[in-house]
Each structure stands twice: as C-alpha cells, then as structure tokens.
Amino acid sequence: MKVAVVGATGMVGQMMLKVLEERAFPVSALIPVASIHSVGKDITFRGETYTVVSMEDGVAAHPDIALFSAGGSVSKEWAPAFAATGCVVIDNSSAWRMEENIPLVVPEVNSDTLTAEDKIIANPNCSTIQLVVALQPIHQQFGIQRIIVSTYQAVSGTGMKAVQQYYEEARGEQEVSRVYHYPIYANVIPHCDVFLDNDYTKEEMKLVHETRKIMRVPDMPVTATAVRVPVIAGHSESVNIELSKDTDADGIRSLLEKAPGIKVYDDPGDNKYPMPGLADGRDAVWVGRIRKDESRDRCWNLFVVADNLRKGAATNAVQIAEHLIEKGILKAEKQSDIAVSEQ
C-alpha cells in the first residue's frame, strides 16, 4: 500500500512513521511530504532513507492513504486535492472534525461509522481521544448523564517550539523562544489554545463538541477546563461523571478491564495510579483513581492518562487506517501483514 505522511518532519509526523513501523503496517511505498522549507530533507523509515517531497509531488504520487499532520490551513487546502485522486486522507488537524459529513473517529468507540465513501476522515483532538476511550464502555453499560473534565496537558501537545521553550527555561537561559504567554517550566498555565467569546478556550470547546459527536450524544452535558503543565509527554485528565444507573467501583473497574485500548491501573493502597511517565511511549489509555463522588448520587471520579503523541494522535490515525483495511474498504497486498491489535 502506498502511504503518504504529510507533515513528516514534525513531531506527530515523526511519530506516525514510528507507529507505522512498529505496527507492521503494509507500506509498499512511503511518500514523506512536508512544507517547502523541508523539501529535500531525508527521513528514515524501516532502515531506508526517503527524501521529503512537496505537496504537489505528494498528490502526483497517487497514494492510497495520506496521514496528515500539517495544521488546519494546510489540510483545508490540500486534503481535498489528495482525496480527489482516490486517496483516503486521515487528518490530525481540527480542520474537518466538526464537518457534518466527515467522520470523527476513535476506533474503539465508533469505527462502525467508516464507509467506502469517506475520503477525508478526521482524527480527534488528543485530549478527546483518551476521554472517549475511557468513557464509552461506561456510557454503554450505565448511561452517562453529565461529564466534567479538567485536563493537565503536556507541552508536546503544542509542538516542538513549546518543548524547546520548556528546556530553555529548565536550563535557566535568559533568551527564551517563548510560545506561551508565561514560563511553563515549574509553572501551570490554565490556558490551552485561544480564548473564545464564552471565556472558554478553543481546546476546552473541542472537548465538548468532539465528545458529543464521537459518542453520538449531541446534547450530552460536557464542561471542560484545560491546563498546560510542565510535562513533556502525556496528557492527564480528572474526570467526573454522573450515571443513569447505580453501580460500584468494582463494576466500573471490571468493565474497563475488558474494554479495548484501556489499561486499568488502580490500587491506591499500593500507590498505583496513572501518570504521564507510565503512559509515555505506550498506546493504551490508562485509567485509575476510580472512586465514588460522595457529594452526589451516581457520580464517579476517574483519572485518565495517555501519550498525547501516540494514542492522542499518531496511533489513533494508524488504527483508523488499519480498520479501513480490516473492513475491506482499503485493500492491502497481504492481509496477514496488518497489525490490528487493540493494545
């Protein structure tokens, strides 16, 4: 299968290449694509060197799949051009997520929405992905009536320049390449993305709207607070949910232990709970601190952690491609080469 990675030199693009290799995705030809500033650079995939090409050359190569992580404006301009050749675009930006006829997909939750007519598929926001993976099994069994979520998001979610700012500040450098309005090293900033007219940030409203779309509950009450923390990789979320039915902690815990894509790590007596350091480099969504909200009936607290560059971006995109092949929407040369495990 001919695979283009658009934004191949960026943090998520590099992770997409790594995940494609790790999961033995059936790549017969790789087309690394990036902006004009990166054209001509070399990247390595499966021990071989590939030269980065332009958007025009990427389209002309007629890939079967294009994994996009190049920003919303680039996606708006170029995703339709790739799709017009018959290519299936899986886009990691926010450009297409809330378009009515574009599927917004987390494979563990709503892969059944994928059809052969879908030429542009949206990859959700990193913080949304881990949230819905953790909540969907609970919603199916007990019915969620309300979601309150506070996120603690790593600097890598903003990109390479934010990581650079963190390290420069950690070294005590005087001249810092500042991405955030304030220092992030040894600090916490309750500000992810831009503020909107309702005083929520765009990131917070992504959690609201995307969760409703993916879980197929358009009127689900969701409220969010998104916070940037001095962690390089791994988003954490404190989640409070109100259920329609009674259950207990063991009922929620056993349900999540059986669910795809989830690692339950929940033993406070032994100091076992999800942390970014545990999720770093892994694809699972980690869930712990499962406990009853004693202030309100049928309400529960969870702590949810995932690697934002992997399950929150690259891995989810590759899993979407795997499901397209598994469902026969895309044809791979050798079906046995496909890794379709739900880690």
Query: Mind telling me the catalytic residues?
Result: 126, 235
Structure tokens at 204: 């917070």
Segments of 154-268 assigned E as strands: 222-228, 235-243, 262-264
CA distance linking residue 339 with residue 147, whole number of Å: 33
Helices (H) and strands (E) in the chain, counts: 10, 13
CA distance linking residue 156 with residue 136, whole number of Å: 26
Distances (CA, A) of 261 to 139, 302, 334: 16, 16, 25
- Answer whether 329's CB lies under 8 Å from 116's CB: yes
Q: In what order do the strands lie in the sheet with 120-122?
A: 29-33, 2-6, 65-68, 88-91, 120-122
Structure tokens at 230: 């001095």
- Answer whether 120's CB lies under 8 Å from 83's CB: yes
Report which residue type is found at 122: A
- Judged by phi (left if over 0) then psi (alpha if -120 to 50, else beta), residue 152 lies in beta
- Answer whether 10's CB lies under 8 Å from 339's CB: no
For 220, other C-beta atoms within 10 Å of its C-beta total: 17
Structure tokens at 97: 């997520």
Give me the residues paired with residue 223 across strands: 148
